[in-house]
Amino acid sequence: MQKLVVRGYALSIDGFSSAAGQSLENPFGTGGLALMEWAFKTRTMRSMFGQEGGSTGIDDEFLAKATENIGASILGRNMFGPVRGPWVGDEWRGWWGNNPPYHTPVFVVTSHPRAALVMEGGTTFNFVNDGIESALRQAFAAAQGKDVRLGGGATLIRQYLRAGLVDELHLVLTHKLLGSGQRIFEGTDNIADDYECVETTGSETVTHIRLVKKPRT
């Protein structure tokens, strides 16, 4: 059965997944990119961007598993870019250059319509402006039996959590403090009832936490 999963999603000690002040220069907000330092060092992350070398071990293993059996992804508007309001032309094509690291269909949830954007390497950005459930239906269909990865940001993950649509979460608790920003669990009072922690694994830099939805009784 297909699942909607969150994988490799980094949090600060004080619970933020991004900092305030997103801009072209600061995709994770001011200082927020520090949450991804653990990933940038790994062989898996470096290979995604055509680079050699990188560390192996626990963090690399978890990051490699993050893309296993993924047939499509869902992103929020702000995860795709810092542009706000109606789309003007197609100048903004994402943070990742001409060959984004997804290599699958990606469904961007937005309030404003935009034509699909075909990129190199098998990534196509599809813009969905009729809600999160529509985006999930389209993503499941495009994934052709594989799972769908929910990439964020925090606002979008909260919406899917509140709707009870997320099957699994792999969270990465870093050793960073942000002080302000976006929290994925804010206002999600159903978490304790709907999910259970099935794994905690520490590396030298972070702690990997896996939550899965409890079976219905």
d(CA 217, CA 82): 42
Amino acid at 212: V
Structure tokens at 186: 């804010």
- Residue boundaries of the structural domains of the chain: 4-83+99-213
Task: Report how far apart, in Å, the C-alpha atoms of 111 and of each of 36, 46, 61, 117, 125 are.
Answer: 28, 33, 36, 17, 15
d(CA 198, CA 212): 7
H or E element at residue 215: none
ω into 121 cis (within 30 of 0): no
In this predicted structure, the answer to whether residue 216 has a pLDDT above a threshold of 80 is: no
8 A C-beta contact, residue 116 and residue 127: yes
d(CA 144, CA 201): 31
3-state secondary structure (DSSP) of residue 76? strand
pLDDT digits (tens, 9 = 90+) for 62-76: 999 999 999 999 999
More confident residue, 86 or 135: 135
pLDDT digits (tens, 9 = 90+) for 78-96: 999 888 888 887 788 888 8
- The answer as to CATH 3.40.430.10 being correct for domain 4-83+99-213 is yes
**Secondary structure letter of residue 42 according to DSSP:** B
Task: Grade residue 57 by pLDDT with cuts at 50, 70 and 90.
Answer: very high
- What average pLDDT does this structure show over 51-59? 92
- Percentage, residues of the chain above pLDDT 70: 100
